[in-house]
């Protein structure tokens, strides 16, 4: 993959084909977990690692996987990777593992991971599949962190609360911005509102970029009339 193809794949994963922002895949964990930045970061890292490794393994074994059983094989690969990630979280980040709860095992059912295995990794070599997994996983993780930070800031008036679950030390509220916040933001409806705002912001930016591109194009002179 050349430099232009690499940049195109990265742009697709981060913006144009973002699994959560554009394709609207994996919304269950995205909406349920992102009450804080740390929760979004933890689940984002776990999803990124699973997506990266599943793309690599599917691409490496695609020649030996029968088309009739490819989906069960993909699920088996993903489930094995999720089990490994869950054991790592339990061993090294037990507090974060308890905070994320059932949503780490539920990565197995994340449609974004199965979709990339089916649509890209099973049809491309290992190198491009690794780049695709990295780009898509990073885009999804960044969305989780952004929504988590927004909801925590608006709902609690804090940022990076519970960062001790990742780096150790005493329990902390993180960076305290205000003494309180809008409680609805950290409740389930706040997750839907936050995602809707993120989608609306992306669409507005895309429209502005398209308008700038049209305005920058040279206009054809009008034909002279007698």
Residue 221 lies in a domain: no
Q: How many CB atoms lie within 10 A of CB 173?
A: 13
d(CA 99, CA 110): 19
* Number of domains forming the structure of the chain: 1
| 60 Cβ contact list (under 8 Å, min separation 6) | 126
Q: pLDDT at position 205, please?
A: 93
**Local mean pLDDT, 10-residue blocks, the chain (226 residues):** 77 89 88 92 95 96 91 94 95 92 90 91 93 94 95 92 84 81 89 94 92 77 54
Separate counts of helices (H) and strands (E) for the chain: 9, 2
Beta bridge partners of 159: 175
With contact defined as beta carbons under 8 Å apart, do 161 and 173 qualify? yes
**Is residue 1 a part of any domain in this protein?**
no
Phi and psi at 155, nearest 5°, equal -85, -35
Residue 219 lies in a domain: no
Domain that holds residue 45: 8-208
Is 203 among the domain residues? yes
**What pLDDT was estimated at residue 170?**
76
Supply φ then ψ for residue 104, to 5 degrees: -70, -50
What pLDDT score does 90 carry? 94
Task: Say what the pTM is.
Answer: 0.90
Asked if residue 94 is part of any domain, the answer here is: yes
216 in a domain, yes or no? no
Is 81 a domain residue? yes
Cα angle 191-195-198, degrees, rounded to a multiple of 5:
140
């Amino acid at each position: 993959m050349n430099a232009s193809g690499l940049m195109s794949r990265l742009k697709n994963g981060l913006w144009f084909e973002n699994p959560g922002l554009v394709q609207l895949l994996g919304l269950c964990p995205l909406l349920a977990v992102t009450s804080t930045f740390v929760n979004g970061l933890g689940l984002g890292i776990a999803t990124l690692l699973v997506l990266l490794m599943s793309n690599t393994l599917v691409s490496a074994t695609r020649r030996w996987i029968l088309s009739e059983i490819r989906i069960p094989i993909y699920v088996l690969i993903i489930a094995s990777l999720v089990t490994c990630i869950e054991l790592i979280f339990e061993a090294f980040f037990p507090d974060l593992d308890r905070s994320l709860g059932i949503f780490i095992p539920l990565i197995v059912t994340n449609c974004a991971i199965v979709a990339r295995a089916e649509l890209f990794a099973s049809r491309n070599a290992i190198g491009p599949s690794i780049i695709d997994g990295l780009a898509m996983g990073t885009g999804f993780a960044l969305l989780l962190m952004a929504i988590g930070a927004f909801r925590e800031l608006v709902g609690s008036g804090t940022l990076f609360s519970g960062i001790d679950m990742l780096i150790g030390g005493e329990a902390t509220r993180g960076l305290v911005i205000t003494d309180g916040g809008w409680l609805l933001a950290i409740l389930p409806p706040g997750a839907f509102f936050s995602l809707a705002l993120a989608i609306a912001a992306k669409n507005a930016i895309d429209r502005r970029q398209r308008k700038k591109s049209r305005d920058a194009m040279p206009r054809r002179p009008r034909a002279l009339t007698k």
